[in-house]
Each structure stands twice: as structure tokens, then as C-alpha cells.
Amino acid sequence: MSSHKPTVAVHKFSSCDGCQLSILNMEDELLDLASAIDIAYFLEATRAEKPGPYDIAIVEGSITTPHEMERIKEIRSESKTLVALGTCATAGGIQALRNFANADDLASIVYAHPDYLHFLKTATPISEHVSVDLELWGCPVNKAQVIEVIVALLNHRKPNIPPYSVCMECKQRGTICVLVDKGIPCLGPATQAGCGAICPANGRGCYGCFGPYREGNPKSLSTTLQNIERYPGETARLFRGISGYAPSFRKTADAISANVKEAK
Amino acid sequence: MTTIEVPALARVEGEGGLFIKLENGRAVEIRLDIYEPPRFFEGFLRGRFLQEVPDITARICGICPVAYQMSSAFALENALGIKISPRVRALRRLMYCGEHIESHALHIYMLQAPDLLGKQSALELAAVAPDIVKNALRLKKIGNEILKVIGGRSVHPVNVCVGGFYSWPDTASLKALLPDLEWGLNAAIDSVKWAVTLPYPDLEIDYEFVALHHPEEYAVVEGEVWSSKGNKVSIADYETRYIEEHVKHSNALHGRTADGNTYLVGPLARLNLNHEQLLPAAQKALKDSGIKLPLKNPYKSLIARAIELVQFYEEAIELVKAYQPDGPAHVELKLKAGEGAGATEAPRGLLYHRYEIDENGLVQFAKITPPTAQNLPRIEADLFALAPKIVKMPEAEATLTAEHLVRAYDPCISCATHFLKLKVEEK
């Protein structure tokens, strides 16, 4: 790194603010972090704004409006490294459930005059609009992983993000498998690690908020889960949740729906 | 003629802008522009299974996910006719203490205080007053720790379910928080002493305050909806008095009372209506502060938050000491068709949910009224009241004073956007 402190900009798109809050939630590290980088734009934290270009842009949220489509292109053009932070930015997030419905119908449920709204029919990840240098999943992201990403970028190395599934984290913390032992539907075998396997540790199944595990086999898992459903359609709903627009989860849920239709 | 324009408000949750047009010393136009994109939660909740609802509504807000989980759970339990056990109720109150603590510490020190101390951010404040910011971060962290022990993580915790909790949190891990909580209680008392010394702009508004009220405790999870005008309705009857109106000029749904008045929810409303239910240390902090109630200055909601910080630390200590997991952590659900409402006090004020479910437990209808949607007409009305004062100020100061007013409300724009229309300037 040259003499100047790297400039970092934090941008919000359609989201709950929880992932950028994970930065403010670094209570033990925030002041050290703020001395190592130059926070040039971070609206949730400061009124001060410095113009681009920026060394690092951290982007939270998914693209859901025409204006956001334009804004992400501007941000890309003024940023050396662009990090997509959280499941909205990497897979569309919870609001991508609109992608499986008619967005106009949803709007008319909530708003009296949907014609006043400017929104896209789909909520899509940042990578569908611009090139993304690094993706960090999670709803919300794990703040230790956020720190690891920032430290890695400052030191020009690859971040060390665990490449395994939630199952491995259950093993690490000694949680007995809720799927095998209790017959609770769990997406853990098909979901990326990073959360610390907190759902099984609390006696419930994983609902996939860290997105698909690259080597996972969601199709095979869905067959297992369909045999132990606690209510009709549980497996399809599990896959069609917070990470539902991620390609492998999307295909799995689509296949289940297609089979159900065929069976009828 | 002057125009004050803040295209993007900083240090608020979500995305909004502010536009004020002044003419001859008064405001002729005020717009709180909400460009936070709509996400249609009430739309895609339809057809989801009721046990998925707390996990979905949590995603409305990263700062107050527990509030959404709690209001959803209570509403759906009412729809099923379920009563949670006293131990589960106590744990819900403890969890809520964690959220109020982290949210209030964040707002007091990182979102609002920089305005009172002439700084752009808490990070800038840390350069001149590192101890204040370090204590603030520790105050906030302890709230997050409560959430982590009970819910696995502080943002979108995973342990709340309809019927109770998926599992009891570990007793030793909760008790281990006590030394930090004791520290936090003292630091919160100091926060009140510090808060009363800050230079608040003068502004007194004759609000109608609205909050949950409970005769035996500082209401957070259950109670009646009380108004400072004397009105009392049950949570089930909330919609008979508190309605959302489609305001033509603003293209926004605004919260109003049935007789057409604006009203205020949040820490000022709670403190003014429920101060008699504060626990002893919070009572003492209020008394020692010399504050006279009702507190009517919106900027001084920071003081109300600080007093509540004492309250929630004190309550957390009580609940952690009494914590003794026993019996089932949740009631087994028996599905039936039904309708139920639930309301709890989120950090920013009353949060109301209502659901209709079918016999399979699938959501047929969802209505969510967040605190900021209820406060929005008040924020605009306050800005009108402020206009004669700021018109005499230099532009930068006028802008900051107006911005500060909006920030003092701690608006949660992501939450409110399910209801607010994007505003279009009328030509």
C-alpha cells in the first residue's frame, strides 16, 4: 500500500441496513479499523463525504429500481475493488422473493397507487449489473468475515473464508445433527458455512441465509427433506427463502414445484 | 426565499432526503423524500407458513429485527389462541432489553450526539473524546451480547419462534454477562448525566403521545395502547383509532388518529406516559436529571433514550438474575384458521402487526405498521414549527438544525418504506 490510507466507501442499495450495521457493530475493532483506512463515504455513520475514486467500495443490498441500476454502474466506475456484502448483494436477498411472483401484484397489495412507484420487476444481485471483485455472503454477514475481507484487501492477499458447509461448523461446535437425530428439515448440508451453525445449535434447521455451498447437492438434499416435511411444501419454501434467488437453490425449488404439478 | 436541501440524510437508518422551501420567514414546502426502495414484505408474506414469519419480518430492519420478530410472534400466537409461559415471556423481555440497549446506544452516541457536539460522526468524535466513544461502543456491545447469547447473533437472531423460543439459552453464558451489565447500568446512569448537559435547540411541541402501557411494568411486550389525550384501546382494537391515511399532496401513507391528528410514538411517548413504571435506578436517574415531564422537545428524545438505557440495563440485570430455564421453551402449535394482532414497543416506538392465517397455517393477509410510518407526519409538522427559527440562521446552520431534528427521531426508513410512497414534487 502506498503512503496514503486506502479510501473505503460503503454504499446501500435495497436492504435492511443490517450488513452495514455489522461494520458499526465491530465495537472492539471499529476505532482501529478507522485509523487504518480512510472512510470516505458511509452515510449510516457520517455526514462527511469525500468524492471518489475509492480504493474499496463495499456494497450492501440488491438492485430493485431503475435508479439503483444506474447508481451501481457509477460506483463501479469509481472503485478499484468492489465487494458485494451480504445475501441481498450476492443473491438478491429476501426481496428477491418478488422474482417468483408478479411484482405488480405485490405492489398493489401494499400500496394503493403502485403506479407512483418506480421499481423493477426483479430484485437482483450486484453481479448481474457490474463486475464484482469479491462476494461475502450472509444475512447478515458475519462481522469477523467482514474484518477478514478488509484486512486481506489491505494486505493484498486472498481472504480466508471457509469453503465448507454448515455441517462442518456443527461438527466443530459438537452439535448433534438435527436432521439425522431429530428429523428436523435442515439446509445445512447445502449451505455455506460462516454463521457458526447457530440454527442447529438452537435446535432448529438451517434456513440457508449464507447461500448455497458450492460443492453441495441441494437436489439430493431436497429428496431427503421432502420425506420429513412437517407441513406441505416445507422443502420448497426452505429453498425459496432468503437465498432463494441463488441459482442452485432456485433450480431446486423450481424442480420441486414442477414435480408437485406433475403429481397432480 | 431560501431553500434547504439535504439530498441524502446521513446517520439515519435507510435512505431519505430533506427539502424545505422558506418564504418570508415561514416554510411553504417541506418534503421528507423517501427514496428507500419498497420491498413488498406484506405482499410476499402471503402464502408463507406462519413459523417462517419471524425470520422473514426480521429482515425488514437490521437495527431492530427483534421488534419485528416479537410483534409477529405475539400476533400469530393470538391468531392461534396460544398463551406463552411466564418464563418465555421473561426471556422475550430480556431479549428485547438487548435490542433496546444496542439500538439506543447506537442512536445516542453514534447517530445523534455528533450533531450536538459539532462533529460529522462518532469516529470524528473519537479523535477528541475517545473515552466517550469507547464507553458508547461498550454500552452497545453488551446489548448485542445479550442478543447473541439468546439468539445466536445480534442482527437477525435465530431463536425466536411462534410459541416461544426454539431452545433455552445456556444459563452460564447468560449469567456471565452480569459483570458487564452492572458496568453498563452505571455507564447508562452516567449517560443521563452527560445527556442533560448537551446544548439542545429550543423547540416545544404539543404532541399527542402514544405508547403501550402496562400497569406493572415499563411496557414493551404487552399492554394497552394509551394516548396522552386519555384514549385507551386494546391492541386488538388498535386499527379502530390509529389509521393510515393516503395523503394526496405527498403520495405517502401517513399515520393519523381516527379524528385526524398526528401523534408521536417512541422514547419520548413512552417516558411521558409510563415513567411511573420505571425501575428504581431509572426513576432515580430521571429525578436526578432534573427533567420535568412531559418532555416535549423532540431533540431531547436523546435524554429519554438515555433514561431508557438505564431502565433496560436495570431490567436486564433483574431478568438475568432470575433466569431459570424450566419446562418447554415453546408451545407446540395446533394449527387453525384465525386472525391475530400483536404490538410491542420497538426502540423507535409502537410496532403493530396483524395476520390472517388459514387452517394450514399459511398467511393470507399481513399488515405491518412500523413506528416511523406513524411518526412521519409528525416529523414534517415539527419541521414546519422549526422553520421560523431556522430562517434567521446561516444556511449551513439552518440545514444542520433541520437535519438534526429528523435524526433526533431516529427514523428507520427501511422499516417505514413498506408504507411510504416515493414522493413526487407536485408541479
**Helix axes B130-151 and B86-105, enclosed angle (nearest 10):** 150
Which among B144, B152, B156 has the least Cβ separation from residue A25?
B144
Contacts of B52 in chain A (CB under 8 A): 237, 241
DSSP state of A16: -
Share of chain A above pLDDT 70, in %: 97
| Chain B residue at shortest CA distance from A231 | B360
Contact A94, B56 (CB under 8 A): yes
Q: Can you give the pLDDT at residue B415?
A: 63
DSSP string of B191-230, one letter each residue? HHHHHTTS-PPP------BEEEEBTTB--SSS-EEEETTS
Share of chain B above pLDDT 70, in %: 94
pLDDT band at B422 (very low <50, low <70, confident <90, very high): very low
- How far CA B154 is from CA of A98, B56, B109, B196, in Å, comes to 27, 16, 19, 30
Closest to A120 in 3D by CA, of B39, B8, B61, B423:
B39
Chain-centroid distance of CA B64 in Å reads 7
pTM to 2 decimals?
A: 0.94
Q: Is the pLDDT confidence value at B38 over 90?
A: no
Do the Cβ atoms of B42 and A110 come within 8 Å?
yes
B290 Cβ contact list (under 8 Å, min separation 6): B196
| Chain B residue at shortest CA distance from A44 | B11
Q: Can you give the pLDDT at residue B411?
A: 82
**Which ipTM was obtained for this model?**
0.96
Do the Cβ atoms of A237 and B49 come within 8 Å?
yes
pLDDT band at B9 (very low <50, low <70, confident <90, very high): confident
State whether residue B56 sits within 8 Å of chain A by CB: yes
State whether residue B364 sits within 8 Å of chain A by CB: no
The answer to which of A43-47, A59-63, B142-146, B230-234 has the lowest mean pLDDT is A43-47
Q: Is the pLDDT confidence value at A258 over 90?
A: no
Distance from CA of A46 to the nearest CA of B (A): 5
Q: Is the pLDDT confidence value at B424 over 50?
A: no
Alpha-helical segments (H) within A61-165: 66-77, 86-91, 103-110, 143-154
> How confident is the model over A213-246, as pLDDT tens digits?
999 999 999 999 999 999 999 999 999 999 999 9
pLDDT band at A116 (very low <50, low <70, confident <90, very high): low
DSSP string of B296-364, one letter each residue? --GGGHHHHHHHHHHHHHHHHHHHHHH----S-SBPPP----EEEEEEEEETTEEEEEEEEE-TTSBEE
A94 Cβ contact list (under 8 Å, min separation 6): A88, A139, A241, A242, B39, B41, B56, B59
Q: How many CB pairs under 8 A join A and B?
A: 192
Which among B10, B49, B130 has the least Cβ separation from residue A231?
B49
End-to-end CA distance of chain A: 62
Q: Is the pLDDT confidence value at B169 over 60?
A: yes
Locate A58 and state its grid cell: 463495499
State whether residue A3 sits within 8 Å of chain B by CB: no
The per-residue pLDDT of chain A, averaged, comes to 93
The answer to which of A235-249, B211-225, B235-249 has the lowest mean pLDDT is B235-249
The stretch B214-237 carries a mean pLDDT of: 97
Quote the CA–CA distance of A69 and A59 in Å, as a whole number.
Answer: 13
Closest to A21 in 3D by CA, of B312, B62, B138, B420:
B62
B285 Cβ contact list (under 8 Å, min separation 6): B188, B189, B192, B306, B307, B310
Contact B187, B181 (CB under 8 A): no
Q: Is the pLDDT confidence value at A23 over 80?
A: yes
Q: Is the pLDDT confidence value at B373 over 90?
A: no
State whether residue B418 sits within 8 Å of chain A by CB: yes
Which helix (H) or strand (E) segment is A57 a member of? strand A54-60
B425 Cβ contact list (under 8 Å, min separation 6): B31
Q: Which A residues 59-118 touch B at CB under 8 Å?
A: 64-65, 67-68, 93-95, 97-98, 101, 103, 105-107, 109-113, 116-118
Contact A202, B159 (CB under 8 A): yes
Is-cis flag, bond preceding A53, omega within 30? yes
Which helix (H) or strand (E) segment is A60 a member of? strand A54-60
pLDDT band at B1 (very low <50, low <70, confident <90, very high): very low
The answer to which of A43-57, B51-65, B386-400 has the lowest mean pLDDT is B386-400
Do the Cβ atoms of B155 and A18 come within 8 Å?
yes
What burial class does residue B276 get, using C-beta atoms within 10 Å of its C-beta: 0-12 exposed, 13-18 middle, 19+ buried?
Answer: exposed
| Chain A residue at shortest CA distance from B361 | A231
Do the Cβ atoms of B44 and A98 come within 8 Å?
yes
Closest to B59 in 3D by CA, of B368, B267, B277, B386:
B368
Quote the CA–CA distance of B91 and B150 in Å, as a whole number.
Answer: 8
Q: Can you give the pLDDT at residue B414?
A: 64
What burial class does residue A66 get, using C-beta atoms within 10 Å of its C-beta: 0-12 exposed, 13-18 middle, 19+ buried?
Answer: exposed
- How far CA B122 is from CA of A46, B95, B189, in Å, comes to 8, 26, 20
Contact B200, B116 (CB under 8 A): yes
Quote the CA–CA distance of B312 and A104 in Å, as a whole number.
Answer: 42
State whether residue B134 sits within 8 Å of chain A by CB: yes
Do the Cβ atoms of A106 and B43 come within 8 Å?
yes
A118 Cβ contact list (under 8 Å, min separation 6): A65, A66, A67, B422
Contact B282, B307 (CB under 8 A): yes
Going edge to edge, which strands form the sheet with B363-369? B338-346, B349-357, B363-369
Locate A163 and state its grid cell: 469453503
Question: Which domains, ranges and CATH numbers included, belong to chain A?
Answer: 7-154 (3.40.50.700), 166-259 (no CATH)
Q: Can you give the pLDDT at residue B421?
A: 30
Quote the CA–CA distance of B362 and A250 in Å, as a whole number.
Answer: 21
State whether residue A183 sits within 8 Å of chain B by CB: no
Contact B305, B267 (CB under 8 A): yes
Q: Can you give the pLDDT at residue A119?
A: 84
Contacts of A12 in chain B (CB under 8 A): 14-15
Q: Can you give the pLDDT at residue B249?
A: 41
State whether residue A24 sits within 8 Å of chain B by CB: yes
Q: Can you give the pLDDT at residue B113?
A: 94
Q: Tell which wins on pLDDT, B373 or B223.
A: B223
Do the Cβ atoms of A119 and B37 come within 8 Å?
yes
Contact A78, A71 (CB under 8 A): no
Contact B382, B407 (CB under 8 A): no
Quote the CA–CA distance of B235 and B354 in Å, as a whole number.
Answer: 10
The answer to which of A144-153, B21-30, B36-45, B298-307 has the lowest mean pLDDT is B21-30
pLDDT band at B416 (very low <50, low <70, confident <90, very high): low
Give the gyration radius of chain B's Cα atoms. Answer: 21
Contact B33, B377 (CB under 8 A): no
